[in-house]
Chains A and B, each alone.
Chain A
């Protein structure tokens, strides 16, 4: 039998072993056509396992992951000195696809996770409105709803890459303050229309019901555009760590503005100048000035596999995969490089490609066993291209802490060990 041949699959698309993405687009992975894979030797003879000989356990009210997956958990780096303060990270190196399981969605909390009884939670809209209004959770549940798949990324994500020397960190430690859910809720514009926003109102002060009453000022144009008052996350009620029973979603905007445990929206002429929009979440530039109200999370990507801690087992075929997103629109292209950015080839993009949502990208790589530096570079549909670290630093320096979105680099050494480097 003569199989269909795919000579093009073995064509190098970029230097140091990056192959054509056609291997994904055609849905045919022909290992023979791309050279030798790993030599595993002959498999053990098969036997009938114990779990096929007796019935398994019955049903559970709420399903849990297999106990064999107990290592797939959020990480705390560093462990918070005060419980509930700080952040937990999405274990990006252990996940696939574009949706983050709700229990693994990163958290950034400023005073713990409030234990909110939804029957006693209220959302108030007031300030420069014709009719100040209070909404119960039950009342919010009665409005026509919308769903959208959207990422939320902490403004402080990837900030460890501002360090002068590359630190020995894995992808989760560096980039784990991002997650993606299908969010369902009431368009904020409907609630604002009901309250009747005065023309003088240019901002909304959004406030949470946590012990810190975390608050941020949001341009009213965003609130009227695509903001959602969310009740559901991935089909079930929003998790407590992500804002139960009501959270604000501002698609594409800095995570901190997506106020959790939303209890109050005050329409004002100007911003509140709250602690989190002055002393935090502002970007100190090379001179003494700082950017304030840095709202969209700009185009970004990272490679999740291979990545530090996930060593290569030997020369041969590897899939390079990761995530790309833009707070300004949809991902148009992701390119990958295995030679530190000297040459690039387009990766395959896993659909659906949605605005302000992550895209899983995949590239085929034939590792020859030599040193390599893996990079990904995303472009969004506004034409914005992810900057190199040098370009990023040239614009704003490396003192800004927040909104780090430069191209990230993994070095692969001859042993197959992967490490974080600047390249």
Chain B
């Protein structure tokens, strides 16, 4: 075995090794957006991601009574569980020196958050079980209890992002975040 051949063999191995190192490992599998859709449950504040469907507060009341009231209380007040929290009331309690009661009506800046959260996390014991129509309807019911929309107003992908929440302008950026 001649030395030049050995060197050539070593060089070729080095070439293979460096080619393998030159590319970062890529172990993710490509997936089509349509195949992600069942997992893509995020709703943007502009309404991006809201599904087809519709509901009104009148339709939502029965769903609320059956699925939500046990924890959140009748008409969204007096929750049985402190962590569930009140959904209604508290307007005016953000004022200086008052004890804040932070509800959907008094504190939440975006109505789209209501749809997003109810669909992903509620009802607590059976999350992701409501249809889109049911989520729209129960969202409408909670908005109506807070006096933000009428009881016959249709809530859907078009109207929900347009609901103006009372505390929409209540938030400012934290001034000391990293750049």
Q: Does B173 contact A (CB under 8 A)?
A: yes
Contact status B39-A124, CB under 8 Å: yes
Give min CB distance, A186 to chain B, whole Å: 9
Q: Does B83 contact A (CB under 8 A)?
A: yes
Q: Given known contacts A132-B32, A222-B178, A273-B110, is B96 in contact with A286 (CB within 8 Å)?
A: yes
Contact status B171-A278, CB under 8 Å: yes
Give min CB distance, B45 to chain A, whole Å: 4
Task: Encode contact with B along A7-47: 1 for CB under 8 Å, 0 otherwise.
Answer: 00000000000000000000000000000000000000000
Task: Encode contact with B along A127-150: 1 for CB under 8 Å, 0 otherwise.
Answer: 000011111100110111000000
Task: Encode contact with A along B69-98: 1 for CB under 8 Å, 0 otherwise.
Answer: 000000000000111000000000011100
Contact status A296-B177, CB under 8 Å: yes
Q: How many A-B residue pairs have CB under 8 A?
A: 161
Contact status A131-B176, CB under 8 Å: no
Give min CB distance, B107 to chain A, whole Å: 6
Q: Given known contacts A272-B116, A286-B96, is B42 in contact with A215 (CB within 8 Å)?
A: yes
* Surface stretch bound by B, among A50-58, A189-197, A364-372, A373-381: A189-197
A193-240 with Cβ < 8 A to chain B? 193-195, 205, 207, 211-215, 219, 221-222
Contact status A191-B28, CB under 8 Å: yes
Contact status A279-B178, CB under 8 Å: no
Residues on B with C-beta less than 8 A from A391 are: none
Count how many chain A residues have C-beta atoms less than 8 Å from C-beta atoms of the other chain. 65
Give min CB distance, B55 to chain A, whole Å: 19
Give min CB distance, B25 to chain A, whole Å: 6
Give min CB distance, A406 to chain B, whole Å: 15
Q: A294 CA to B45 CA in the complex, in Å?
A: 19
Residues on A with C-beta less than 8 A from B25 are: 142-144, 190
Q: Does B30 contact A (CB under 8 A)?
A: yes
Residues on A with C-beta less than 8 A from B109 are: 273, 278
Residues on A with C-beta less than 8 A from B112 are: 273
Residues on A with C-beta less than 8 A from B177 are: 219, 293-296
Q: Given known contacts A135-B27, A194-B24, is B172 in contact with A294 (CB within 8 Å)?
A: no
Contact status A278-B110, CB under 8 Å: yes
A residues with CB within 8 A of B? 80-82, 85-86, 110-111, 124-126, 131-136, 139-140, 142-144, 190-191, 193-195, 205, 207, 211-215, 219, 221-222, 263-264, 266, 268, 270-275, 278-279, 282-284, 286-296, 298, 328, 399
Could you list 23 A-B pairs, sorted by A, with CB under 8 Å? A80-B83, A81-B83, A82-B83, A131-B30, A132-B32, A133-B28, A134-B29, A135-B27, A142-B27, A143-B25, A190-B24, A212-B127, A264-B39, A264-B40, A270-B44, A270-B46, A272-B42, A272-B44, A274-B116, A283-B174, A292-B174, A293-B177, A295-B178
